[in-house]
Chains A and B, each alone.
Chain A
Amino acid sequence: MNSQMVKNEMEISFDAISRNESFARVAVAAFVSHLNPTLEEIADVKTAVSEAVTNAIIHGYENLYGYGRHGEQPSSACPVHPGKVRLKCILEGDVLHIEVEDEGKGIDNLEQAMEPLFTTRPELDRSGMGFAFMEAFMDDLEVDSEPGRGTVVRMIKKMGSSAWIDSEE
C-alpha cells in the first residue's frame, strides 16, 4: 500500500425506513464525488448501496412496504419496526470500501440468499437480484450474517477504472 495514499472515512447510522434508501446512496455518491467518478461508476455504487440498505430494511428489520406506497406518510396499517442501519465508507486512495450493517434477524441460508432470482418475499414483487447486482456492480462482495443477530455486507470498488465500458461493447 502506498504510504502517501489518502485515507478518508465516514460513518452514518439511520432509521430502517424506506425513505432513507435514497439518502444512503446519495450520501455515498457525495462522499466519492471529489474523485470525479464516471456516471457509470456512480450509478454502480448507488445501486449496490441501495440493494444492501434495502435488504437491511426489508429483510433485516422486516419493514416490508415503502412509505412511498402511501405518499410520503407511513400507513397505520404497516407498523414500522424500529432499527438502525449503519453505513460506513472508507476511501483508501481511489478504492472505496462500503460496509452496510444491521442488527436485524439475519440470514438463515446465505448461499441460497445469494442465488440470483431467489427471494424470501416473492409476494412483495422482489426480484431476488439484490446480491447479484451488488456482485456485478462492485469489485468485491462479502456477507457475514448471524441469524438473530444481524448482517454485515462489505463491498469494495476501485473508482476511476471504468474498464467495463471498453469490455462491453
Chain B
Amino acid sequence: MEDFQIIDNYLMVRLPEEVDHHRAAYICENADRYILQENVAHVVFDFADTRFMDSSGIGIIMGRYRKIACFGGRVYAIHVDRQIQRMFALAGLNKIVEVLA
C-alpha cells in the first residue's frame, strides 16, 4: 500500500506496486492534502515497491513539482529502477527531479 509520511519538512510518498491512472488520483489527492496542511517544502517519491509505472507516474511527479516549485521546493525520487529512469529521461524529468539511487 502507498504510504504518506512527514519527516521534518519533507513529504515521503511510498508509491504502490503499480503506478497507473487507476491509482494516480488517490496518490495526487493525498499528497496535495499533506502539502497544503503540513507545510511541506519538499517531496520524496519512493519507488522501492514499484514494479510497474506508465506515464501517469510522470504526471504525478510533474503535478506535485508545480505545486511546490514556486516556493523553492524540490522533488526527489529514490529506489528508481532502470525502466523508470528511462521514462524520466524521455519526459525530461531529470531537470526537475533529483534521482537518488
Contact = CB atoms under 8 A, between A and B. Distances in A.
Closest 4 CB pairs of A and B: A69-B25, A125-B63, A127-B58, A127-B59
B60 to A, nearest CB: 6
Contact of A40 (B26, B52, B83, B91): B83
The main secondary structure of chain A at its interface with chain B is: helix
Nearest to A134: B55
Nearest to A39: B83
B52 A43 contact: yes
Interface of B: 18, 20-26, 28-29, 52-56, 58-60, 62-63, 82-83, 86-87, 90-91
Contacts of B29: 69
Contact of B26 (A58, A69, A116, A124): A69
Contact of A66 (B22, B55, B86): B22
Nearest to A129: B55
Interface in A12-54: 18-19, 21-22, 25, 40, 43-44, 46-47, 50-51, 54
Given A22-B20, A68-B22, A125-B63, A54 B54 contact: yes
A132 interface: yes
| A interface, size bucket | 20 to 34
Nearest to B66: A125
Contacts of A136: 86, 90
B90 A125 contact: no
B54 to A, nearest CB: 4
B59 A22 contact: no
A7 interface: no
Contacts of B26: 66, 68-70
Interface string A93-115: 00000000000000000000000
Most A CB contacts (10 A, CB to CB) among B26, B56, B58 go to: B56
A98 B77 CA distance: 32
B25 A65 contact: yes
A51 B55 contact: yes
Contact of A125 (B20, B28, B54, B91): B28
Contacts of B25: 65-66, 68-69, 124-125
Contacts of A47: 52-54, 83, 87
B4 to A, nearest CB: 15
B60 A125 contact: yes
Contacts of A126: 55-56, 59
A18 B90 contact: no
